[in-house]
């Protein structure tokens, strides 16, 4: 047995020398195994964002502004916990490269179409960034059932003028839902008389925000102990506003022709039932895919029209 063990050791040593000798002629290969993160650490939080390791090769810590405003209201950046909350969201969104790139691209298409609606209702421009963080400017559906750019629940959507039927859900209409959001924000301002609290109320609900302030005997979002999502909410908005104000400063160098452009459409008024949208699309010179791309509020393959209603359907126009 002793000799067998010795023989095995000699063979193992010889193999090690051979491998070492051969490796000298080869370039080192990148590791293919994933890096495991310890739960509860910053690495674990970063992994939840699906960020590539390469994103951090040239990472740096960004200076924070001494003064910051939301909708014309000063953010108390002199408070340590306020600075840390903003610091966290600024760095997450700066180094969440793939997500923030597409936010910038989509915003170029949609913000110019949404801005005039907010101007009409007297809503500060900063609230456009609420849609950016709510949905990423896509018609998303949350686990709780909130829908669209502005993440409306069904009851709230109907309260502010959006139609929801079997065939139609105007929460998916970026323009009509923006108008509903403007109405909501205007009503919230009449209640709070403070745009910062209005932004928090968009996340928590007007009643929920009002109760939190009353229960804690405070009148400001910055003084209230809130749930994690609402506590982070305004700072996410501020982070996106800061990055959007100077993308290149934060490492986002996007060519003009890479930005998504508004697409030309014509509006066709419809006041009678459409039993087959596929056939109707063909008669308009397009297909169902293009029809639904420009009219995501059409939820089935037909459109039943009740009463004296009429709808405007967007048809893309070739350049």
Task: Tell me the pLDDT tens digit for each residue of 126-160.
Answer: 999 999 999 999 999 999 999 999 999 999 999 99
DSSP state of 268: E
Share the mean pLDDT of the chain: 87
191 pLDDT above the threshold of 60: yes
Q: Which residues pair with 169 in a beta bridge?
A: 164
Its sign, for the CA torsion 169, 260, 114, 128, is positive
Q: Which residues pair with 270 in a beta bridge?
A: 311
Q: Which is more confident, 8 or 221?
A: 221
Q: What percent of the chain has pLDDT over 90?
A: 79
Q: Which residues pair with 267 in a beta bridge?
A: 314
């Amino acid at each position: 047995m002793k000799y067998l063990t010795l023989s095995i050791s000699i063979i193992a040593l010889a193999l090690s020398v051979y491998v070492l000798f051969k490796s000298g002629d080869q370039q080192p290969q990148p590791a293919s195994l994933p890096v495991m993160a310890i739960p509860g650490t910053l690495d674990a939080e970063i992994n939840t964002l699906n960020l590539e390791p390469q994103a951090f090769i040239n990472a740096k810590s960004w200076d924070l502004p001494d003064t910051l405003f939301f909708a014309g209201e000063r953010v108390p950046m002199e408070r340590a916990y306020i600075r840390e909350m903003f610091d966290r969201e600024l760095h997450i969104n700066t180094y969440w490269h793939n997500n923030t790139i597409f936010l910038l691209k989509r915003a170029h298409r949609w913000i110019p179409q949404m801005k005039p609606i907010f101007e009409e209702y007297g809503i500060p421009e900063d609230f456009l960034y609420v849609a950016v963080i709510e949905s990423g400017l896509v018609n998303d559906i949350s686990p709780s059932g909130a829908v669209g750019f502005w993440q409306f629940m069904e009851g709230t959507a109907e309260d502010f003028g959006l139609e929801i039927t079997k065939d139609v859900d105007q929460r998916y209409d970026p323009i009509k839902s923006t108008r509903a959001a403007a109405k909501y924000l205007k009503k919230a301002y009449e209640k709070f008389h403070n745009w910062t609290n209005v932004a928090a109320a968009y996340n928590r609900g007007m009643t929920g925000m009002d109760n939190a302030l009353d229960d804690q005997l405070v009148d400001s979002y910055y003084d209230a102990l809130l749930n994690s999502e609402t506590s982070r909410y305004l700072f996410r908005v501020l982070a996106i506003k800061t990055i959007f104000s100077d993308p290149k400063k934060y490492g986002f160098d996007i060519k003009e022709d890479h930005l998504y452009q508004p697409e030309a459409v014509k509006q066709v008024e419809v006041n009678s039932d459409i039993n087959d949208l596929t056939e109707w699309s063909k008669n308009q010179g397009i297909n169902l895919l293009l029809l639904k791309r420009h009219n995501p509020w059409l939820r089935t393959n037909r459109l039943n029209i009740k009463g004296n209603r009429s709808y405007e359907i967007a048809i893309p126009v070739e350049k």
